[in-house]
Structure formats: structure tokens, C-alpha cells
Amino acid sequence: MLQSIGYFMRRVGRNLRQTPVLCSAAIGTVAVALMIIGFFGIVVVNVQQVAQQWSREIQVVAYFDQVPDLGKVQQWRSSLEAMAEIERVEYVSRDEAFKRFKIRLGTDADLLDGVGADFLPASLEIILHDDNQNKGGVEAVVQRLKQIPELDDISYEPEWLERFDAFVGLLKVAGIVFGGFLLFAALFIVSNTIKLTLYARREEIEIMALVGGTPLFIKMPFLIEGALQGILGGLLALCGVWAVFTLVLREGLYGVLMVTGTEGILFLSPMQQWGMALCGLMLGLTGSLLSLRKFVRI
Amino acid sequence: MIQLYNVCMSYQKEATALNEFSLKVPKGDFLYLTGPSGAGKSTLLKLLYGAVKPTRGQVLINGMNITRMRSWRIPMLRRKLGIVFQDFKLISTRTVFENVAFPLEMQGKKRFEISNKVYQALKHVGLQGKLNRFPLQLSGGEQQRAAIARALVIDPLILLADEPTGNLDDDVTCEIMELFKGANARGTTVLLATHNREIIRRYPRRIVSLDKGRLVDDHTP
Ligand SMILES: Nc1ncnc2c1ncn2[C@@H]1O[C@H](COP(=O)(O)OP(=O)(O)O)[C@@H](O)[C@H]1O
Ligand SMILES: [Mg+2]
């Protein structure tokens, strides 16, 4: 077994030396394909991040028509927080609301001189769990709040919510379709490039079969070679994506998405970087597997 | 021991390459397959090394029925055969030594065992001085000797040769024939397809004649 591995590795090394142009072409194809996917991935990651920040602001506010009894407020809070959709309920008293309003006015706060702190209503602010920050979640909460007669007005933004839901859904579908299409195209090109390297060695493959090589034994060096080319292409793509990210993409995304600073623009997570290398490996492996089917027949 | 019973084989529907063909070849036999071009000689050899399957009939090698042999077992069959072609089928990017080492590598033999056997085989065909040359740096006769060394390096039970001297001149043909004779003397069954009457005259052995896929004559002079 060990000695077979040594034998396969020697053959792989020799193949790489014998057809360097074709091998570089295979590596290059994997690299370019994965780089495009990587760019797209970064864009999706960052748009999703921004979308998540927006959705933090999705909350339901319920206003009291009169100052409520604090004991009752405590009861409502605990019964609301028991709902699966709700993460947290905060009580905002009239004083608290006035304080916030003053802060928001900033330098114009002197406009409030002589105004009593009681013109703003007290309210309950309901913050939903991440996975319930959608139309369904909000409506469930609103239904529950309507059962509390002391509440005068319930404020939420159904239209905006609907659009937000649609946008996130579209992003997901586009990601799957576009990513899948790119992977498929990459696989097609890679398998054709590898087919060329096999074509250059068809004489050898034919004779291996004639002198009693088993299909697996014949294929193994080519599979290792494909996997190696794939993982090299994946690493190359990673370097390329990183370079372009630091040079232009970060600034560009910052300009479009308007997050708090360029540090706010994310690169692929370590997990996603591993995924990219693995993707390269799988591309190379399946690419050679697909083209070998045509060449190794006994 | 090779046995063929009522073997039919056709590549396309109409044209039959072999037609109701039966033959017995005892172990250690030396036999010529002869007949005009297109008679079915190559097809018969391909049948024996599992490159094509018969449309009808049975083919047995050493009692093993290869008619319905699963494709994963064909490599095991080929490890008992030596095959020699008219066009040598050497790998041009490999040295003579590496070419002859190929069948042993495919069997996963150890490296030192491979170099030993390859050297012996090349010495046997008189190429021990040229083992680092590439095939295209050799004459036709030397290339065929290298191909024969590759066939014999595994000590095959059966040697199949398809017009092995078709591309060679008379002197070289004699050298090659001596190698086949020697292998046969050491117990290898030899099947040699040729339409060269001259070598049959000089090395008289059992002659099996084919025409249009049928056996028309089988005699030993
Ligand atoms: N690969 C092939 N495809 C179709 N027909 C073939 C093929 N090989 C041989 N034949 C046909 O089969 C018949 C026997 O061919 P072959 O066995 O090569 O004859 P020989 O070796 O005696 O010259 C011929 O009619 C030939 O045209
Ligand atoms: Mg022929």
C-alpha cells in the first residue's frame, strides 16, 4: 500500500513535469472560476451583514393611552417574553421617552424648555428573535398585543417588512442559482482541460490496460493529479480574491453599502476559505473522474 | 490450454469477423494464424486478451471461461499474457527500461524486484546496453525486441503476437523468431498471426488458416 502511494506520487510528479502547460491551464481554470465565486461570496456575505443590521431595527412598539400601573407592566412583560417569537420586552416610561427625545434633538434641545416631561406616551418596545424578524413573526406579536386593552396604538411597518422579506429571499435564490451555475461551468471547463492532459497520455493509458493494470490503478495517479491541481487552483483563487479585496473591492463595497467603516466590510470567514480550497479539490477530483470515464475502458 | 467453441464475433450487424470458429490449443503449443488480410486473425487475438467479446460461442483459457468474464477480472487475465504488436506499442516518452518495467509496475511489484527482472529480460533480447534510450532512438528491430522483453518479463503462460515482423526486414525477422522459439521452448504457448509465408517455411509449426472468419485449414507440417 505504502509503496503504491510512493509509486503514484512518482507518476504524478512525472506527469506534471511532462505537460506543464496543460497542468497550469487546469490550475488556472479552477483558480479563475473559484475567484469569481469568491467575489460573489464576499458581496453576498456583506449584503447579508447589512441586511442583518437593518433587521435589528425591526421591532414592534405599543403605546399606552394612560400611564400604566407598574405591577401590571411587569406582568405583561413576563407573559410577552414567554412567547417564542419574542426575545426581549422593554418598558419605556414617559420620562425615559422624553430623555431619548431630548438626546435626539441634540443642540435643538432648548426647544423643549418649559415643556412638561409628560407629553410623550409610555410604551412597550418588543424586540423579536432573529429568525422571527419577518412578517409572520411581527403579525403574531401584534395579534397578542391587541388583547391588551390598555394599549392604545401599535406601531410597526408591514409594507417595509414585506419588501425586506422579498429582498432577503431573492438574495438567497440568486446566490444558489448563480453559485450553482458558476460551479457547473467551472466543472465543465476543468473536466475538458483535464481531458486534454489525458489525451496527451492516451498511448500510455492504453498500454497500461493492455499489460494488466486495473482501472483503479490506472486512474489513481490522474485522480491525485486532478485533486492536486484543484487544491492548488483553490489556494491561488484565495490569494487572488484577497488581493483584489484589499485593493478595490473593500472600498467599492464600502461606498455602496455605507456601513460604519471599511473595517465593517468582511472578507470570507476562515470556514468559507477552507470551503473554497475544498471546492477546488472537489472540482479537480470530479473533473478528472468525469473525463477518465471516457479514457479508461477495458 | 486455449479452447474456442463455435465462436461468432461481429463488430457491426452485417459483417462477421469470426464465424462458427472452433479451435483447441494445448499448453506449450506453437501455432501460426494465417490467412488473407481481413480474415479475422487480429480479432481472434483480441478475443483472447479480452479486448472484444464474442457475439456467440465460448472461449476458455486454462479452463477459465472468459466469454462472460466481468470486466474487472480482465486485468488478471492479461497479467498471464504477453502481447506483441506490429507497431510495437512502446510509450515514446519513456525509456526502454521504463517500458519493460510497465507490466510489473501494474502488478504493484517491489522496485528492486522490478529492476532485476527488467534487466534480465532486456539482457535476454540483447538490449542491456540500451536501457536508457527512448524507443525512437532505436531501430525497428530493437523496438520490437524491447516490446518482446516487455511481453516476456512477466513469464507469460501465453504469448500473443499480431504480425510482429510485419514492419521488419528479413534478418531482423529471424532474430525475432528465435526469441519466440526460445520462449516456446521454455513452456510458453505461442500464437503468432502472420501472412508471411517465408517464416512459416523456415520455422515450420502448426498452421491454422482463416478466411472470412472461418477456419479453412489446420495442419502441422
Ligand atoms: N474495429 C473494427 N470495427 C469494425 N470492423 C472491424 C474492426 N476491426 C476489424 N474489423 C473487420 O473485421 C474483419 C476481420 O478483421 P481482422 O481481424 O483485423 O482481420 P486480419 O487481422 O486477419 O486482417 C475485417 O472485415 C475487418 O474489416
Ligand atoms: Mg490484423
Total-model pTM: 0.74
The chain B residues in contact with chain A (CB within 8 A) are 49-50, 71-72, 74-79, 81, 83, 89, 91-94, 102-103, 105-108, 110-111, 150, 154
**pLDDT class for A294, splitting at 50, 70, 90?**
confident
Model pLDDT for residues A220-270, shown as the tens digit of each residue: 888 998 899 999 999 999 999 999 988 888 888 877 776 656 667 888 888
> What does the pLDDT read at residue B95?
95
pLDDT of residue B102: 93
Class of residue A284 by CB neighbours under 10 A (exposed 0-12, middle 13-18, buried 19+)? buried
Instruction: Give the pLDDT score at A55.
Output: 64
CA B195 to centroid of ligand 2, rounded, Å: 9
**What's the residue count for chain A?**
298
What count of other Cβ atoms lies within 10 Å of the Cβ of residue B110?
A: 10
DSSP string, chain A: -HHHHHHHHHHHHHHHHH-HHHHHHHHHHHHHHHHHHHHHHHHHHHHHHHHHHHHHT-EEEEEESSPPPHHHHHHHHHHHHTSTTEEEEEEE-HHHHHHHHHHHHGGGGGGGTT--TTSSPPEEEEEEPGGG-SHHHHHHHHHHHTT-TTEEEEE--HHHHHHHHHHHHHHHHHHHHHHHHHHHHHHHHHHHHHHHHHHTTHHHHHHHHHTT--HHHHHHHHHHHHHHHHHHHHHHHHHHHHHHIIIIIHHHHHHHH--S-GGGS----HHHHHHHHHHHHHHHHHHHHHHHHHH---
Least trusted range by pLDDT, from A9-18, B117-126, B153-162: A9-18
Mean pLDDT value of segment B23-44: 95
| pLDDT above 90 coverage of chain B, percent | 82
Q: Categorize the per-residue pLDDT at A74 as very low, low, confident or very high, splitting at 50, 70 and 90.
A: confident
Instruction: Tell me the residue type at A65.
Output: D
In whole angstroms, give the CA distance from residue A276 to residue B139.
52
Per-residue confidence (pLDDT) for residue A124, from 0 to 100: 84
- The cell 503514484 sits on which residue? A8
Residue B83 host element (H or E): strand B81-84
Protein residue with least CA distance to atom 1, ligand 1: B11
Which residues are within 8 A (CB) of A220 and not within 5 positions of it... i.e. 6 or more apart? A4, A8
**Confidence tier at B145 by pLDDT (50, 70, 90):** very high
What pLDDT shows up at residue B206? Answer: 96
Q: Smallest Cβ distance to B102: which of A3, A4, A207?
A: A207
Confidence (pLDDT) at A295: 74
Among B28, B27, B91, which residue's Cα sits nearest to residue B63?
Answer: B27
Q: Residue B15 pLDDT > 60, yes or no?
A: yes
Mutate which of B14, B34, B43, B191 for ligand 1 pocket (most atoms within 8 A of beta carbon): B43
**Secondary structure letter of residue B66 according to DSSP:** -
pLDDT-derived band of residue A78, with 50, 70 and 90 as boundaries?
A: confident
Closest listed ligand to the CA of B46: 1
A104-141: pLDDT as tens digits: 776 777 777 777 767 788 888 888 887 777 777 888 88
For residue A4, give the chain B residue with the closest CA: B108
Q: Which of A3, A7, A298 lies closest to B74 in CB terms?
A: A298
Instruction: Check if B41 has its Cβ closer than 6 Å to any atom of ligand 1.
Output: yes
Average pLDDT along chain B: 93
Fold of A59-132: Alpha-Beta Plaits (3.30.70)
**pLDDT given for residue B147 in this prediction:** 96
Confidence of residue A10 (pLDDT cuts 50, 70, 90): confident
Q: Tell me: pLDDT of B187 over 80.
A: yes
Cβ distance A212 to B75 less than 8 Å, yes or no, reads yes
pLDDT of A154: 78
Confidence of residue B217 (pLDDT cuts 50, 70, 90): very high
Tell which wins on pLDDT, B96 or B221: B96
Nearest CA in chain B to A1: B108
**Closest chain B C-alpha to A6 CA, distance in angstroms:** 11
Q: Where are the domains of chain A?
A: 2-54+163-295, 59-132
Centre of ligand 1 from the C-alpha of residue B37, in Å = 9
CA distance A295 to chain B (A): 14
Residue of A nearest to B77 (CA): A212
Contact B29, B185 (CB under 8 A): no
Helix (H) or strand (E) holding B77: helix B74-78
Contact residues, chain B, for A7 at CB < 8 Å: 105, 108
What is the ipTM for the molecules in this complex?
A: 0.90
CA of B210 to the centre of ligand 1 (A): 13
The answer, yes or no, to whether any atom of ligand 1 lies below 6 A from the CB of B37, is yes
pLDDT value, residue A182: 80
Chain A hits for B93, CB-CB cut-off 8 Å, are: 18, 204
Contact A3 B110 (CB under 8 A): yes
| Parent domain of B213 | 2-219
Q: Which chain A residues are Cβ-neighbours of B105 within 8 angstroms?
A: 7
The pLDDT value recorded for residue A44 is 78
Q: How far apart are CA A280 and CA A27, in angstroms?
A: 9
Q: According to the model, what pLDDT value does residue A190 have?
A: 81
Task: Locate the chain A residue with the closest alpha carbon to B88.
Answer: A207
pLDDT at site A259 = 62
Segment B37-75, tens digit of pLDDT: 999 999 999 999 999 999 999 999 988 899 888 888 899
Q: How high is the pLDDT of residue A167?
A: 76
Cβ-nearest to A211 among B76, B102, B108: B102
Give the lowest-confidence range in A47-51, A271-275, A286-290, B56-60: A47-51
Contacting residues of B for A4, CB less than 8 Å apart:
108
The DSSP code sequence of B102-154 is HHHHHTT--HHHHHHHHHHHHHHTT-GGGTTS-GGGS-HHHHHHHHHHHHHTT
> Quick one: closest CA in A to B73, which residue?
A214
Q: What is the pLDDT of residue B97?
A: 96
A20, amino acid identity: P
Q: Cβ of A57: how many Cβ atoms within 10 Å?
A: 10
If you average pLDDT over residues A10-16, what whole number do you get? Answer: 84
Q: Structurally, how many domains does chain B consist of?
A: 1
Q: Does B43 sit in the ligand 1 pocket, CB within 6 Å? A: yes
Q: How many residues does chain B have?
A: 221
* B72/A214 touch (CB, cutoff 8 Å), yes or no: yes
Ligand 1 atom 11 nearest Cα = B17
Query: What is the CATH number for B95?
Result: 3.40.50.300
Measured from the alpha carbon of residue B9, the closest ligand is 1
